[in-house]
Chain A
């Protein structure tokens, strides 16, 4: 799959020459082939690109434009950068920025470390492959559920009389049940726990794929050199996984920053706005409070921050391409 980017195109060109040669005996084939060659790839790529232009790129530009406008009582009014100057002075925006940092950093660390741990277990030699695949299926299962369902499952577990509090009060003999979603410090940790549960399988599978791609000879060589399991992990596995870990942490940061549904289901930003992330703040100001222009300004700022991250990531990725690491 790697260095295939160019050869198909090159060989399809020779393919056309061959058909042209054959076309002497069947004129109809040749007649049909000419317009195909003219339209070439654009014919296939066109529909998707047009779709993106209308449904993704145009709305994206509208976000920028709407951030400079105030739409009140249906009449748009140009306000320039006023939303942005308001934003800088808005303590709740800074609050949401701080929350999203805590939320994202802890989620990403947990996703990748739990995903790594379970992927290492699944990558070991199992006496029975069917059992291994069954376990893999069970461990992926949380990924299948909707955020809405996951939120509900966990709200039930977090309930004052739920399973977790039964363990806390009933088994550990504590006095009062823990209010997982109602205490300012704890609520964020509870939301992170649900996010970890919901999303680690994706990263586990990708890391597992990466582990399976590491050639066994490197491990053999390390064993011969007397490296123990920990040293093999540190000096062989981790460096080999580096490109994948960079990729998934970037993807993870971006998806985690964008979570609205999880917070909407679990805490609605509370208690005391301690779980209100930037994404939830956009949803709240734009859709719940109806302040579309301000919401667009927060969106734009979020886009700029993510764009910087994406550009860095694509840079890393295309540099890898020159070394033959990626499909670019």
Chain B
């Protein structure tokens, strides 16, 4: 009797596992097709990609398209701009975000709840509703077509979610540790720096990855506030390249692949913390 049910259980378990694994793998294959196809088109003469049936001969693969882009000053410039803009945005939102999250997490302030609700509302503010004043104001204050202008407005759209995620982490860190540190003569700021920040590292990494990806991929603000390749990031480079009359698909896909490589590396390295941050931010 026991053995029979045991057998049925194992049998069912096996079928269940095969079903789950194959269905997930199938979905993953379908979902990753566009990515594989982009990389394929970045490494193979386009005549062999856009044809029936597409050729899949691996000996035809070449790095020449990507190499010629890396040698091109214009595209190196886009890459430098994207890096400067994303890293500066990251620095601003992490510093301001940590301070604000600590303040909201540890102090009871008059208007604190209203400020939090306001940040929650800003979190949902669509970028497109502010492009008109940004366009005008950037001209007025001389930040049009500068990297600094983009850094400032990018930060404004990323900071709310950073505060939100970091506050979640800080709420979970016990206050006793800081109190002990302050009894030993630490100031609040030192307590934040020496006790809370080290404990919140997973949260900072997850939030930081989030912020970097957002800033690296930002398009609308860049198209609104920049005009020349001096300040334009890679996303604009991609769109400009694509907009030309004759489409050089090999170079477009090579540029798209190069643009995505930093993101894929960062994602593979920090996936765990990003997922953690996203789930904890939502479950609350």
B198 beta carbon closer than 8 Å to chain A: no
Residues of B contacting A295 with CB < 8 Å?
Answer: 131-132
Q: Say which residue of A26, A56, A63, A170 sits within 8 Å of B122 (CB atoms).
A: A56
Interchain CA distance A45-B109 in the complex, whole Å? 10
Given known contacts A148-B238, A166-B54, A209-B283, A299 and B121 CB-to-CB distance under 8 angstroms: no
Interchain CA distance A206-B35 in the complex, whole Å? 23
B259 beta carbon closer than 8 Å to chain A: yes
Given known contacts A36-B187, A327-B168, A149 and B24 CB-to-CB distance under 8 angstroms: no
Given known contacts A139-B28, A206-B278, A52 and B122 CB-to-CB distance under 8 angstroms: yes
Q: Is B156 in contact with A11, judged by CB distance below 8 angstroms?
A: no
Q: Is A213 in contact with B33, judged by CB distance below 8 angstroms?
A: no
Q: Is A44 in contact with B99, judged by CB distance below 8 angstroms?
A: yes
Q: Is A146 in contact with B235, judged by CB distance below 8 angstroms?
A: yes
Closest Cβ of chain A to B270, distance in Å, is: 11
Closest Cβ of chain B to A149, distance in Å, is: 5
Closest Cβ of chain B to A285, distance in Å, is: 9
Closest Cβ of chain B to A313, distance in Å, is: 8
Contacts of B191-220 to chain A: CB distance below 8 A: 192, 213, 216-217, 219-220
Given known contacts A56-B156, A152-B252, A327-B171, A159 and B235 CB-to-CB distance under 8 angstroms: no
Q: Is A52 in contact with B119, judged by CB distance below 8 angstroms?
A: yes
Interchain CA distance A99-B205 in the complex, whole Å? 38
Given known contacts A41-B103, A47-B96, A258-B126, A145 and B260 CB-to-CB distance under 8 angstroms: yes
Q: Mark B148-173, 1 if CB is under 8 A from A, else 0.
A: 00001101100110010001100110
Given known contacts A136-B275, A148-B239, A286-B135, A163 and B33 CB-to-CB distance under 8 angstroms: yes
B91 beta carbon closer than 8 Å to chain A: no
Residues of A contacting B100 with CB < 8 Å?
Answer: 44-45, 47-49
Residues of A contacting B249 with CB < 8 Å?
Answer: 156
List B residues at the A interface (Cβ < 8 Å).
16-17, 20-21, 23-25, 27-28, 31-35, 37-38, 41, 49-54, 96-97, 99-100, 102-109, 112-113, 115-122, 124-137, 152-153, 155-156, 159-160, 163, 167-168, 171-172, 175-176, 178-179, 182-183, 185, 187-188, 192, 213, 216-217, 219-220, 223-224, 235, 238-239, 242, 249, 252-253, 256, 259-260, 263-264, 267-268, 271, 275, 278-280, 282-284
